Amino acid sequence: MRLFIAINFPPEPVAAFVRAQDALRRASPSASFSRRENLHLTLAFLGEQPSARVPDIREAMAAARFRPFSLSFDRAGRFRREEGDVCYLSCAESPPLLAVQRRLARGLTERGFALEDRRFVPHLTLARRVQLPPGFELSSILERPIDAPARALSLMLSERRAGRLVYTELHHT
């Protein structure tokens, strides 16, 4: 099972994320865009895990003591890649987000999970393999900040079905 823990968002902010994607699509139509139902903010990527580890993951999620808070996605950015950039929306600094991610990471590592060894950069991936035209201002895809409630942590299963990436929520807390 390929697993990750994320924050999923309700329809209203997702619609605003899609509007940002649409603006990006006009600038880079050949990019690979995240599907609407797959838009999320990853807190921990777990990779391939046996189903027997799910109870340990659920324990770590409970130990993270999640309490709802709000995020404000207020800027667009990109991770430069040779094959094309990964474009994303990032949120304003959020102490509650950083605290829950730290507690979650600690709970997972205490239970023997190996997490990526890099600094947590909260972002919502809009598209991969983006080739922007010269002079394009990435900030132009965001009309205004997008307020999005963080209501729960979700354990997500990632799998390919008929060539499409499908995320399924297995548990939330």
pLDDT attached to residue 122 = 97
pLDDT attached to residue 127 = 98
Pairwise CA distance, residues 149 & 57, whole Å: 23
Pairwise CA distance, residues 55 & 67, whole Å: 21
Half-sphere exposure of 150 (CA within 13 A, CB side): 27
Per residue in 132-154, pLDDT (tens digit) is: 999 999 999 999 999 999 999 99
Instruction: Give the mean pLDDT of the chain.
Output: 97
For residues 66-89, give the mean pLDDT: 97
Strands 154-161 and 164-172 come out as antiparallel
For residues 21-38, give the mean pLDDT: 97
26, pLDDT greater than 90: yes
| Predicted TM-score of the model (pTM) | 0.95
pLDDT attached to residue 117 = 87
Half-sphere exposure of 58 (CA within 13 A, CB side): 9
For residues 12-26, give the mean pLDDT: 98
The answer to whether 164 and 152 are in contact (CB under 8 A) is no
